[in-house]
Every structure is written in structure tokens, then in C-alpha cells.
Amino acid sequence: MAEQKTVYFGAGWFSDVQNRAYKDAMDALAANPTINLKDSYIPLNNQYKGIRVDEHPEYLHDKEWAQATYNGDLIGIRSSDIMLGVYVPDEEDVGLGMELGYAQGQGKYILLVIPDEFYGNPINLMSWGVADNIIPMSKLKDFNFNQPRFGFYDGAVY
């Protein structure tokens, strides 16, 4: 078996488009032999005390939940081999932007994945600049995380 890397899985889950991209990326990672998905950090699966605010919005005002979830995610970034960001150009997630910047500060390799139907659309300059490579979703299942490489994005920035 090939060596496997862990990823910090940065992705929004706040709209139907983001949820579809989230699922497609998870399916691709599960099929990728160079990823150890079991030991990767998936923020949605690591909310403080297992409380998901999409199911319990009352916790959006709970400072203990917020601080512990935030700190847990930072630990997830630091302890993962690679930062993976699922990026939907027309539905940017400010949380993903923060995670990308933090991962760069930690010296992590950063891969952005864009759903195929949006690949080539303009993306934010800062997200473009922080990424080591940006690929369409259809290439994620075959991406060799043991040999990460730099790559330019084929679309424009704003």
C-alpha cells in the first residue's frame, strides 16, 4: 500500500452547492489511495461536544462551544499533513479563507479543489495566492498527495 497523508478538510456546508461539493470531495478522498481519511481532520465531525450548529443554531451564541470548536480546528490544521480547501467561486466561505491563511502560516501544502462546473471561474486573489495548486474536483480522486506539486489556476482572479 502507498504511503497515506492526512488532510484538514476545509469546506463550507451552508448551501446546496457547498453540500454537493463537500460530498463529492469526500467521495473522491475516500477513493484516493494516498489519503488516510480515517485519521484526517474533518471539522464538521469534530465540533465541540459533537454539537453541530447547523442542527443546533442556538449554540452560535455559546462562547464555550465557539472557542473550543475554533481551537480544535486550529489543532486539526497543525496536526494534518496537508490543507485541502473545497472552494466554490460564487459562494466563498470566510472561514475557509481564515483556515487557508493559518495553514500557510504553519507551512502546510495547500490544495484548492473547485467543482468542475465552476473551475475556471474567477476566484479571490488571496485564495489563489495562498494555494500551492488548484485542481478541478474530477482530478481529486487521482491526485498523488505523496508528490504534491505547484500548479497555476486556469481561471482569473479578482
**Which entry of 55, 64, 99, 117 is annotated as an active-site residue?**
99
Radius of gyration of the chain from Cα atoms? Answer: 15
99 belongs to the catalytic site: yes
Question: Phi, psi (5° rounding) for residue 15?
Answer: -150, 170
- CA 33/CA 18 separation, integer angstroms: 24
| DSSP three-state, residue 145 | coil
Which residues are catalytically annotated? Answer: 99
